Amino acid sequence: MTEQQSPNKGLSTTMAILAWGFAIGILAWMFHDWQTQSQKPVTESSGGINSVSIPAGPFGHYRIKGSINGIPVNFLVDTGATSISIPADLGNKLVLSKGLPYRVSTANGNIQVNSTRIDRLQFGSIQLTNLNAHLNPGMSADQDVLLGMSALKQLEFTQSNGWLTIRQNP
């Protein structure tokens, strides 16, 4: 005689697996939240030199809150980006004018973007004015603005022990 499996046994195993997956997901989220709250950017101004030190995120990226033309945005420091790349939909919120179209090469291939100009960009104590940028239709509005070399070339930056320090000389 063969033993039949109870239909509830398969359901209870599935529920146990889902519960463990949920618990692991919650713990990962809590750890990420704790890590990002425990290491905040450090801003300093001394002798006319403004500096901002940014801790590396969980995957080694450097992110910081800032603003474009006084409107809050999140930046991702990207030394591989030639220009500041702004999601096109976010460009509308930032009231940036849509300039001439041109093609750029991205990690996802070649795309057409529109040039734009930023009057004022700020993060921490660092403020830059009159910057070239582009509006990128391939980025979603909830993505970080890529802080590329059109801004970073005006600054000095060093990386050490999981921190990126950006300096603006007078």
When mean pLDDT is compared over 47-51, 68-72, 107-111, the highest value belongs to 68-72
Of the candidates 88, 59, 75, the residue with the CA atom closest to the CA atom of residue 150:
75
The domain 42-168: what is its CATH number?
A: 2.40.70.10
Residues with Cβ within 8 Å of 2's Cβ and at least 6 positions away in sequence, in order, are: none
Whole-number average pLDDT of the chain: 87
Q: Where are the beta strands (DSSP E) in 35-99?
A: 42-46, 49-55, 63-68, 71-77, 84-87
Q: Which amino acid is at 86?
A: I
Let me know: does 135 contact 116? Beta carbons within 8 Å: yes
Q: What is the pLDDT of residue 33?
A: 52
- DSSP SS3 for 80: coil
What is the tens place of the pLDDT at every residue in 52-102? 999 999 889 999 999 999 999 999 999 999 999 999 999 989 999 999 999
Q: What is the pLDDT of residue 2?
A: 55
DSSP annotation string for 88-128: HHHHHHTT-----EEEEEETTEEEEEEEEEEEEEEETTEEE
Q: What is the pLDDT of residue 109?
A: 86
Phi, psi of 44 (to 5 degrees): -135, 150
